[in-house]
Amino acid sequence: MTEVMYDYTLESINKCKDFVKFLQKRQQIEIEYSKALVRLCQGVQQKYGVGETEENISEIQKVLGNNSLWRGFQSFVKITEQIAQSHKKFSISLKMSVSDPFVEKIATMENQRQSQLTDSNEHTKNLQEAYTELKKAKQAYQENNNAINDLMNLKAKAVSTNNFREKDEEKWKVKYDQAVEKANYSSECVKYCEEVCKNAQEHYYHTLLPALRE
């Protein structure tokens, strides 16, 4: 379950990075296109002396300046300059409004994912340890119960063959009491480990997993 979620978040982060790369490339294209248009317009203006004072303009240029075609040409150059500025502004806006916030968001997502991954590993380790300790406790409880049964069978067999004297009873009683004490202790260990395991499961499934879904 957690691996699927971590794979999902990783894929989401990678797609966001691809989107940012696309945006940054688009910004680069927009700004380069803007610069190219500006250079184009400047070349025309320098060639034909656009913006020069009256003293620096020849008579032929003055006559041509009144030509409708030339006026249209100048107007188109100005429009091209405006387009260049629009592309520049769009590139800046794209960077500030979209790509930069996305870069910050990706960094936040990566930090959150790493933090959750660390927490998940710790919770998973705790859960696995709880399962292991519970298994050991149950095994010890079973072994102690088997020891009691073995003692009971041993006594029954000895009694049936009239080979169970008073001193044997005393020795057997000591061993039996010790076995019962161990069994009772291991029973308490099982209960304790079951509670620890239950708490670990609840924390894992009701705290960690819901946090991953957010």
Please indicate, yes or no, whether residues 74 and 131 belong to a single structural domain of this protein: no
| Domain-embedded: residue 56 | yes
Please indicate, yes or no, whether residues 69 and 159 belong to a single structural domain of this protein: no
The tally of domains found in the chain comes to 2
Query: φ and ψ at 110, to 5 degrees?
Result: -65, -40
Asked whether residue 21 carries a pLDDT value surpassing 80, the answer given is yes
- Given this model, what pLDDT does residue 53 score? 47
pLDDT in tens, 154-181: 878 777 777 767 777 788 788 888 888 9
Model confidence, pTM: 0.56
| Domain-embedded: residue 29 | yes
Which residue range forms the structural domain that includes residue 41? Answer: 1-97
Please indicate, yes or no, whether residues 1 and 78 belong to a single structural domain of this protein: yes
| Domain-embedded: residue 112 | no
- Given this model, what pLDDT does residue 196 score? 87
pLDDT in tens, 34-59: 999 999 999 988 877 655 445 555 66
- Of the listed ranges 21-35, 50-64, 69-83, 168-182, the one predicted with least confidence: 50-64
Average of pLDDT values for 49-76? Answer: 67
